[in-house]
Amino acid sequence: MANYYDRIADTYDATREYPTAVVGAVVDFVLSDRDRKRTTLIDVGAGTGLLSIPFARAVRRVVAVDVSQQMLEVLDRKANAEGLTNIDTKIGAAQGLPVPAATFDVAITSHVLHLTDRQKSLCEIKRVLRNDGAHVDCRCNWPEHRRKIESIWLASRGSAQVAQSMAVDSRPPDLRIPWRLEETVGDRLAAYESRAHGSCWGLGDEAFANAFAKFKYAVLEEYGSESQPLASESHFEVFVTPRSRI
């Protein structure tokens, strides 16, 4: 998995839209009851810092952990460009975080726990949080047009899977922010061609090329051209769990 993320590090941000206003609302919500100047945060599966960097602008210290060195190098470049000096990056997995126990006030995850042994990862998150700390799981649900295109991709690669919403928790989110996702058919094709989505993994190069050719044909049959705009409503959801309840 690490090598795969190394390969897509430079194109990752183009396929993961976290609008500035949405992320700002998340930061304000998560830190509403905390002293920002004292708060320390660990971002588990930080990737290129889509959450690490906005939180680093607000808190005392952020530790960003990821399995991919290349992803963390992208994060470092972005942090350096902003002059942020309070982010430390560490190679590591959610099931074995390379940090001492009882170190952090907040642990952030976003679209990562389903890629790990969830229970082991949650045990590690609990271990590294202080007693009054909290785990914050963030999720950007795919809008309707993305689920439709994902279904076309799955059919093209011969999968019996059905495109699902990213939501996995049965309880309602503590924060749910609506936003409108706008892009083009070409943007979606480029995201799949870069193999940035999990459903593109596990295919050899030849099998992927064959599936992508079928996929591109089917998508253009459906939508007409790469310049065709796509827009539908999405939601960014935040689930907060106090350490005592993990």
Residues 178 and 77 in one domain: no
Please state, in angstroms and rounded to a whole number, the distance separating the CA atoms of residues 14 and 243: 33
Please state, in angstroms and rounded to a whole number, the distance separating the CA atoms of residues 83 and 57: 10
Average pLDDT over residues 133-143: 92
Domain of residue 37 covers: 2-141+235-245
Other C-beta atoms lying within 10 Å of the C-beta of residue 12: 19
pLDDT for res 89: 98
Residues 184 and 213 in one domain: yes
Residues 113 and 11 in one domain: yes
- pLDDT of 79 over the 60 cut: yes
For 231, the token pair is 């827009």
Residues 222 and 162 in one domain: yes
DSSP-derived 3-state class of residue 208: helix
Residues 111 and 13 in one domain: yes
Residues 84 and 180 in one domain: no
Are 195 and 208 spatial neighbours (Cβ–Cβ below 8 Å)? yes
Residues 38 and 90 in one domain: yes
- pLDDT of 166 over the 50 cut: no
Residues 73 and 53 in one domain: yes
Residue that wins the pLDDT comparison between 143 and 29: 29
Predicted model pTM: 0.85
Closest alpha carbon to 212 in 149, 147, 145, 157 = 157
DSSP-derived 3-state class of residue 160: coil
Closest alpha carbon to 188 in 163, 167, 161 = 163
Res. 114 pLDDT band, cuts 50 70 90: confident
DSSP-derived 3-state class of residue 239: strand
Residues 125 and 170 in one domain: no
Please state, in angstroms and rounded to a whole number, the distance separating the CA atoms of residues 151 and 215: 10
Percent over 70 (pLDDT), the chain = 91
Residues 228 and 175 in one domain: yes
pLDDT for res 161: 61
CATH number at residue 67: 3.40.50.150
Residues 66 and 137 in one domain: yes
Structural domain count of the chain: 2
Res. 19 pLDDT band, cuts 50 70 90: confident
- pLDDT, mean over the chain: 91
Average pLDDT over residues 230-246: 94
- pLDDT of 217 over the 90 cut: yes
